[in-house]
Structure 1
Amino acid sequence: MQEDIHFRNIEYLHRGSAKQQDAALVIDELEIMDHLISYDPILVGTIPIGIDIDGSDLDIICCVSDFARFEQEIKARYSRLIPELTFSSRIVNKIERMVVRFQYKDWDFEIFAQPVPSSNQNGYRHMMIEFKLLNRLGEAAKQRIIELKRLGYKTEPAFAELLNIPGDPYEELLNMSSWSEDQLDIYISNLDMDKERCHE
């Protein structure tokens, strides 16, 4: 799938907005995608799809089964450069996860690891359905999402507000992530929403 290839290589950031280009430079400087290559790293969240606001962080997801080794490798690579590395682990829905957080050159980083293929993780699936929706809805919808986020909405609730999605926005968008392209096209054509707001 073309979108998958697009987001697995951060080269697209170098051709993006000023903020995306700055993010690419910092990621390249840390060589973090190269260091994490064996864990199938993918940058997800709002910055890759251009709906970030001030304070948005850089979220990298990884597929990890040996968490002790993963933590040891990150400490070996970055503990001297970034002494404030933090690691937290917990089990959610019987699946272990680890989150690594740190700051570097005014950027907040979050590395999310779990023993699930990166492209099957919720962070990636959310980003991809949001990317597809924005491609269909246009610039006005994108700006409305940014506006909602500045008002305090999290990303998935912002999409639910825009699209009048009932129920749990996180689960509903995950369900939509499995839809075919034709299903998405039909959904967009049938939307009962302010066309001027979302299709300009």
Structure 2
Amino acid sequence: MRQQKPAMYGYARVSTDDQRLDLQIDALTRFGVERDRIFTDEALSGATMKRRPGLTAAFKALRPGAKLVVWKIDRLGRNLSELIQTADLVRTKGAELISLTEQIDTSNAIGKAMYHLIGVFAQLEREMIAERTKAGIAAAKERGRMPGRRSTLPPEKRALVVDHMRKGLTFTKIAPLVGVSKSTLYNNGDDLRAELAALQAKEISDS
């Protein structure tokens, strides 16, 4: 009996209006991905995108043993945190990840090692986010007893900030809405972006 080939899906994304999906789609079809199995997100920049419907649809289609093919690994995320979290979701789905530009294929030995590292870093980042949140709560309590300490982003406002970021608002617009300074948001920018990436990855996983 002839063994059935694993299902192969593609994902392509452009972030600005002047970019085109054609290059990525052509590369994916040349690799062997059927056009009707290529999911896309177009002109959704980090400043305006609330969700990635194309990527969400791709994850709904993925099954254990399937392959998700991208033209370039950075199509999976707009920053390193998002990329790691999203790639780890492919792993937890039991699917393989192929990136044509970097020649990454997680079905071979080198790719499996990379997959393992992605899983480690994703878990590490989630733990670091949790630790920073706990540290923020402790710092807020300490500031209540010791006036004059340098102000950080209060934990109770962190969720509000991340929610506004999900809606596409910039730090300049968010600051007056939550009652903190722009500099506070920029100082906490890396943590906030990491929390947003983890949240969006969880939303895709739960969808």
Q: Report the TM range for the smaller structure's normalisation.
A: under 0.3
TM-score norm. by structure 2 comes to 0.27
Structure number having the greater strand percentage: 1
TM-score norm. by structure 1 comes to 0.28
Structure number having the greater helix percentage: 2
Structure number with higher relative contact order (C-alpha < 8 Å, ≥ 6 residues apart): 2
